[in-house]
Amino acid sequence: MRLVLVGPPGAGKGTQAEFIAANQSVPKISTGDIFRANVGQGTPLGLQAKKYMDAGQLVPDEVTIDMVRDRLAEPDAADGFLLDGFPRTVPQAKVLDEMLAELGTALDVVLELVVDNDEVIRRLSGRRTCRGCGKIWHVEFDATERDGVCDRCGGELFQRDDDKPETIAERLRVYADQTAPLVDYYGGQGKLVGIDATGPVEDVTQRATDALDPFGG
């Protein structure tokens, strides 16, 4: 299955991507995770991306598209993938369609996670991520047993730099302006399925599984 997850910051894309990718036996490709890994390693790509990420803005398409092209050329993505955080603009979506057409294939489905802005703010302000294994937690909705320590691997938890209130507001503005038009773009292709992404994580996973079923999921 070739699948894209779309939704505002904090909709739960990263949380659900882990379960969906495992269920579908496809690699999860998150552009945000790739950028953060590069920032952490201090690579030229990371240095370039960091100033945009910290401001809540999108990294320019020319940087992002080449990075995704390289990742999709890796052997594990040949038979399917889950993209989390890409495409994020209509130009990125058009290039993705062209890249896949060159490979003689196409996206199967785009899953939209629908949540309102108040819920996004609650989720992002309490998010914590493990430095060791990358597991996403929440101080209220999915808390670890010990403060600041990952239950899965014992790693240290951190708060993302872009989860500050003023940056969250900018990310929401950028989403509405630049990413939400993807809903019409993929709706026009008949590939969009939207699900209610509120409520317990397991319930959202079940809704996602049911929604993907007709697409061979």
Q: Are 150 and 137 in contact (CB under 8 A)?
A: yes
Question: Which residue in the list 2, 71, 127, 135 is annotated as catalytic?
Answer: 127
DSSP state of 137: E
Of 64, 71, 81, 195, which lies in the binding site for ligand AP5, with binding defined by CB under 6 A?
64
Element (DSSP H or E) covering residue 139: none
Is 142 or 151 the residue whose CB approaches ligand AP5 more closely?
A: 142
Decide the pairing of beta strands 81-84 and 2-6.
parallel
Phi then psi for residue 111, to 5 deg, are -100, 120
Using CB under 6 A, which of 6, 11, 29, 109 touches ligand AP5?
Answer: 11
Nearest to 129 by CA among 29, 3, 10, 7: 10
Please give the residues from 15 up to 54 whose contact with ligand AP5 meets the rule CB under 6 A: 15, 31-32, 35, 52-53
| 78 neighbors 29 (Cβ within 8 angstroms) | no
- Residue 205's φ and ψ, nearest 5 degrees, are -60, -40
CB of 121 to ligand AP5, least distance (A): 10
Give min distance, CB of 149 to ligand AP5, in A: 16
Q: How near is the Cβ of 1 to ligand AP5 at its closest, in Å? A: 19
User: Is 123 part of the annotated catalytic residue set?
Assistant: no
Q: Which of 10, 112, 157, 212 binds ligand AP5 (CB under 6 A)?
A: 10
Binding mask of the shown chain, residues 171 to 190, with x at each position contacting ligand AP5 by CB under 6 A:
x-------------------
Q: Which residues ranging from 79 to 138 are in contact with ligand AP5 (CB under 6 A)?
A: 85-86, 88, 92, 123-124, 126-127, 136-138
Catalytic: 131?
no
CA distances from 187 to 80, 110, 184, 192, 195 (A): 21, 9, 5, 5, 14
Asked if 192 and 7 count as a contact pair (C-beta separation under 8 A), the reply is no
Indicate if 173 belongs to the active site: no
